[in-house]
């Protein structure tokens, strides 16, 4: 086994770890303490506002809003930017489509591709919109643990229970899944190491060989997952879990002053965005 392959093994383990941590960035800030519903709603408001903006001033207002929010979250900007890597491809495609396929006053030509003034404008706005969109939603996922997020969703979508949507059950499934992902990732890491210590090689060989080499990893993983699932089910039963009916929460979501302040800010922000659109 050459060195690069050894690095690849580790790289894979690290990648798994990245999923574990999810996105959450654990510091204490106003945004971290805010009710997840407020943040969910805020993200939606922000996304809508981005589609409302149709000129430079609108985007400037959105930029200021985003900058202030990022500042308040106390999460390093580099973490927000990290999320952009995932959409780089999408960004490139949409920018080039807008750049080359928009009709209007021609600026210059490269071979058969015409670049127009309108195209440049559209492409620029498109890029900014996408970037802000991703960064805006990153703020939410970076400041909210997956469990808080599920809680927030359950409560916000509670009205759907009236039309017999099993909101509680879905939220429970989601939070258990979220709870289990890091555990299983840790477990995978340990099993991989234990088998690598016995000379396992998860990399080389053809497809069949590779699939075969996964058996020593998957068997212990499944066994452990099933064991954990039964244990959890028993622990839940032992504590009288019987679905969402009449269940109360230890930490019920409750709006605080900062949440009301946030909603007021949203209203003001939307007001500004609407005004900018009308005035300019």
Sign of CA dihedral 145, 146, 150, 156: positive
Per CB under 8 A, the segment of 41-49, 171-179, 196-204, 233-241 that binds other proteins is 196-204
Task: Assess 208 for contact with other proteins (CB under 8 A).
Answer: no
101-160 binders of other proteins (CB under 8 A): none
Q: Is 31 in the site for other proteins (CB under 8 A)?
A: no
User: Min. distance of Cβ 188 from other proteins in angstroms?
Assistant: 10
CB neighbours of 104 closer than 8 A, spacing ≥ 6? 116, 117, 118, 119
229 binds other proteins (CB under 8 A): no
- Residue 108 burial class via C-beta count within 10 angstroms: exposed 0-12, middle 13-18, buried 19 and up: exposed
187 near other proteins (CB under 8 A): yes
For residue 26, state whether it binds other proteins (rule: CB under 8 A). Answer: yes
- Residue 238 and residue 228: Cα distance in Å, rounded? 15
Q: Are 9 and 202 in contact (CB under 8 A)?
A: yes
Among 8, 16, 17, 133, binds other proteins (CB under 8 A): 17
Cβ 143 to other proteins shortest distance, Å: 12
CB of 222 to other proteins, least distance (A): 10
Q: Cα-Cα-Cα-Cα dihedral of 240, 242, 246, 251, to 10°?
A: 60
Interface residue with other proteins among 56, 87, 174, 201 (CB under 8 A) is: 201
Interface residues with other proteins (CB under 8 A)? 1-3, 6-7, 10, 17, 21, 25-27, 79, 187, 190-191, 193-201, 215-216, 219-220, 223-224
């Amino acid at each position: 086994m050459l060195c690069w392959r050894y690095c690849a093994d580790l790289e894979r383990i690290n990648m798994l770890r990245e999923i574990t941590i999810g996105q959450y960035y654990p510091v204490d800030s106003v945004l971290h303490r805010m009710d997840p519903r407020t943040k969910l709603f805020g993200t939606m408001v922000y996304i809508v506002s981005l589609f409302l903006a149709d000129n430079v001033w609108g985007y400037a207002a959105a930029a200021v809003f985003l900058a202030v929010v990022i500042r308040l979250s106390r999460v390093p900007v580099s973490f927000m930017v990290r999320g952009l890597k995932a959409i780089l491809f999408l960004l490139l495609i949409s920018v080039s489509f807008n750049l080359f396929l928009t009709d209007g006053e021609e600026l210059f030509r490269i071979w058969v591709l015409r670049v127009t003034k309108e195209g440049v404008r559209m492409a620029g706005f498109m890029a900014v919109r996408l970037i802000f969109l991703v960064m805006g939603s990153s703020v939410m996922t970076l400041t909210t643990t997956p469990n808080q997020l599920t809680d927030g969703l359950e409560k916000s979508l509670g009205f759907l229970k009236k039309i017999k949507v099993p909101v509680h059950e879905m939220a429970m499934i989601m939070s258990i899944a979220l709870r289990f992902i890091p555990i299983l990732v840790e477990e995978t890491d340990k099993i991989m190491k234990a088998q690598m210590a016995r000379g396992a090689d998860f990399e080389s060989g053809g497809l069949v060989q590779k699939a075969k080499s996964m058996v020593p990893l998957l068997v212990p993983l499944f066994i452990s997952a099933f064991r954990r699932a039964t244990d959890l089910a028993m622990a839940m039963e032992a504590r009288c879990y019987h679905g969402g009916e009449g269940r109360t929460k230890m930490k019920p979501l409750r709006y605080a002053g900062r949440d009301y302040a946030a909603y007021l800010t949203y209203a003001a922000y939307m007001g500004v965005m609407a005004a900018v659109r009308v005035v300019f």
